[in-house]
Amino acid sequence: MNFRDMVFIAVAENLSFTKAADELFISQPAVTKHIRELERELNETLFERKGNKIYLTRQGKITYRHLKQIHQQYAEMEFELSLQHGHVKGALSIGASSTISQYVIPSAIASFHHRYPGIKVSLFNGNSFEMEQLLIENKIDLALVENASSKAGVRFQKFMDDEIIIVTGSQSAFARRNALSAEEIQQIPIVLREQGSGTLEVIYNELKKQGIDLEKLNIHMHLGSTEAIKNFLPKFDGIALLSEKAIEKELQLNILKKLSIANMRIYRQFRFARLQGHEYKIPETLINFLLDYNF
């Protein structure tokens, strides 16, 4: 691929000439020049401006889809050629849900980089819905998500198991308890993750199965990250439901306390998500590494 095509991809993914310039370490006028040259060559308008924002035109979306595929295929070619010389190199963009990116894979990614220093890894994070959208928009090569969704055109593969547990601050009124009843869950103030969170989706689905009326939950607030909830809980006289992997340190330090509910355990799967028909070898290298990694 030529550099002009890379400039177009950067602008299309950032929807900003300024951000694309910063990403590519060139000036904004240079970005504008490359885009105008590409539009002249294709005889198409690729971007339109509305107010202070730019958007891809229909022709721009078609151009982005094809150039992105060419870019991925070119990266695969370089990767396979590097294998012939015994030194692996390439680029990999992955998106991971908040829980996975913060608490599960950082050490594994460090080990992956140590083993494959020639593969440049870019990691994006957000909730599972956001990461799936990035995948569908072809902005990342691989997503690691924690919800149970099934979307057309996306192939899911189990990564590892996780348990969501009920916790409270060690100084709260409920810290003297070891267990709660299903009825109490509907009465005690509770703080949960935001809409779109894979954790929230799993919680809601499991509570429904247990016959707990979601409309009757005493939801105090929704917070946008597990870290926010962890920092909120010590001064909150209530409970939260969080990934056990995300609060191992807080449980050990007795900052938070784990509670149980009779006959109810909330399990979920962390999963890889890839676009159907995309069998690129670089994402597969990371997938195999993580499946063999001793978490």
Domains of the chain from N-terminus onward: 1-62 (1.10.10.10), 163-268 (3.40.190.10)
Half-sphere exposure of residue 11: CA atoms within 13 angstroms, side-chain side: 33
Q: Which two tokens stand for residue 118?
A: 């020639």
pTM (2 decimals)? 0.75
Res 289: pLDDT: 95
In the numeric block, the tokens 């080990």 are attached to 111
A 10 A CB-CB count for 141 gives 22
pLDDT (tens, 9 = 90+) of the chain, 295 residues, equals 789 999 999 999 999 999 999 989 999 999 999 999 999 999 999 999 998 899 999 999 999 989 988 988 888 888 788 878 777 888 899 999 988 999 999 999 999 999 999 999 999 998 888 999 999 988 899 999 987 677 888 999 999 999 999 999 999 999 999 999 888 888 999 999 888 787 888 888 888 888 887 788 899 999 988 999 999 999 999 999 999 999 999 999 999 999 998 888 899 899 999 998 877 888 999 999 999 998 8
